[in-house]
Amino acid sequence: MVQATRKFSRLRSLGIVTAGAAALYMGITAYNNQDNFYRSFVMPVARILPAETSHNLAVWACKHRLYPASDYTDDLNLHCSFFGRLISNPIGIAAGFDKNAEAIMGLKDLGFGFIEVGSVTPLAQSGNPKPRVFRLVDDRAIINRYGFNSEGHDVVLKRLRDLRQREDFNAIVGVNLGRNRDTMTPIGDYVKGVRTFGPVADYLVINVSSPNTKGLREMQSKKELTELLEAVNAARGKLKVNPNVPILLKLSPDLERRELIDIISVINNKKCRVDGLIVSNTTLSRDNINDISLANEAGGLSGEPLRERSTKMIAQVYSLTKGSIPIIGVGGVASGNDAFEKIEAGASFVQIYTALVYEGPEVVERIKSDLSMRLSELGLANVGRAVGSNYSKYLP
């Protein structure tokens, strides 16, 4: 009996020592060789967990600033003007990662030039039943049908207000606006979003392109979009604080050319003006998918299989607008080269999401340093010089 207790105690000590050593090793590695640490340890472990659990964990880790802050200094050639504000690089985190504005400071630590939170709905809602996020690992892709799970305007507003009070707050934050699933006043939901977040946001996004809320993408049609954009413009005009807050419209990559032409004719109308376009949201298409076991899951597809589709759409929008409106390019960016393609197709700024899931947080640094090097090799003093420089290459 005594022997058994001693054996158990020795085993327990051994366990503690081993776990301690492993933790120490992980800690040291995290600081010395982040790239390897995330790719070979954290990301594979995170992938064992259900996709939504690892998403929540990643948000939690950012919220508590557990990821070491990036010590990469953005090269001068990445500096750019973002709707009148200077940012040190054009790479942002796309909507849907930090839906409730919990992790802004942690995301800033990773080196993002700007951060988009949301989509936020006026009232809190839980979204679609689980499971609702799926990793298509071989395709470096995700299918999600979250359906706007949101803590709602009040909670998110309080977080943003509190954040802006902080002395160390120095991020550019956009708020992506959604609408409640069962709303009787879809346009009213966006108007509420403008009134609520206009005073605390660096930009607002009208998201009528998520595929997981019934009837949402129809709001991109000419008639509905005209009504919507007139209403949000009027609401912005009445803001006492920040009445010039930039409003961006986020588009679906599944729009046809004639629908794009309609949208551009709408935003050319002064009453429906938007300051920028985000191209693009997730797609319903399942082209270029190898993981056929998950391809039939309903939802929006993001990541590598979306990359070319969204780049082509950026080029189309750039060509149709003659470069007159800034575009944020998003869809399948995982490298400096992918970011450069979005930029030469016409994007002034680039966002990422899915690459963060597969590559880990150090992907931000990698994209920035490779992009900066590419600009130098091409003799371009500034990223702005590359915008739209080769858009015709991506036109059909």
Ligand X SMILES: Cc1cc2nc3c(=O)[nH]c(=O)nc-3n(C[C@H](O)[C@H](O)[C@H](O)COP(=O)(O)O)c2cc1C
| Interface contacts to ligand X, rule CB under 6 A | 94-96, 99, 118-119, 133, 142, 144, 146, 176, 207, 210, 250, 281-282, 302-303, 306, 330-333, 352-355
Residue closest to ligand X (Cβ): 96
Nearer to ligand X, 217 or 236 (CB): 217
Q: How far is the CB of 275 from ligand X (least distance, A)?
A: 17
**Least separation, in Å, of the C-beta of 18 and ligand X?**
35
DSSP per residue over 199-220, as a string? Answer: GG-SEEEEE---TTSTTSGGGG
Structural contact between residues 308 and 329, judged by C-beta atoms closer than 8 angstroms: no
Closer of 29 and 125 to ligand X (Cβ): 125
Q: Yes or no: say if 334 and 359 are a contact pair by the CB < 8 Å rule.
A: yes
* DSSP secondary structure letters along 52-114: HHHHHHHHHHHHTT-SPPP-PPPPGGG-EEETTEEES-SEEEPTTSSTTS--HHHHHHTT-SE
Structure-block tokens of residue 187: 């346009």
- DSSP letters spanning 144-195: E-----B--HHHHHHHHHHHHHSTT----EEEEE---TT-S-HHHHHHHHHH
Comparing CB distances to ligand X, the nearer of 96 and 326 is: 96
The active-site residue out of 150, 210, 302, 310 is: 210
The DSSP result for 301-320, as a single string, is: EEEHHHHHHHHHHHHHHHHH
Nearer to ligand X, 86 or 298 (CB): 298
Nearest distance in Å: CB 25, ligand X: 31
- For the question of residue 210 being annotated catalytic, the response is yes
Q: Least distance (Å) from ligand X to the CB of residue 89?
A: 16
- For residue 250, the minimal CB distance to ligand X (Å) is 5
Strand duo 203-207 + 133-136: pairing: unpaired
Task: Write down the least CB distance from residue 95 to ligand X, Å.
Answer: 4
CA-to-CA distance for 104 and 143, rounded, in angstroms?
A: 24
Judge contact between 265 and 222, C-beta under 8 A.
yes
Write out the H or E segment, with its range, that includes residue 48.
Answer: helix 43-48
Amino acid at site 312? K
Q: How far is the CB of 196 from ligand X (least distance, A)?
A: 17
Report the length, in residues, of the chain: 396
Task: Report the C-alpha gap between 319 and 387 in whole angstroms.
Answer: 12
Are residues 80 and 384 in contact, defined by beta-carbon separation less than 8 angstroms?
yes
Helix/strand/coil for 359: helix
Residue 303, strand partner residues = 141
Cβ closest to ligand X, residue 347 vs residue 355: 355
Pairing between β-strand 114-120 and β-strand 276-279 as defined by DSSP bridges: unpaired
Judged by beta carbon, residue 124 or residue 380, the one nearer ligand X is: 124
Task: Between 201 and 306, name the residue whose CB sits nearer to ligand X.
Answer: 306
Q: For the chain, first and last CA: distance in Å?
A: 79
Catalytic residue set: 210
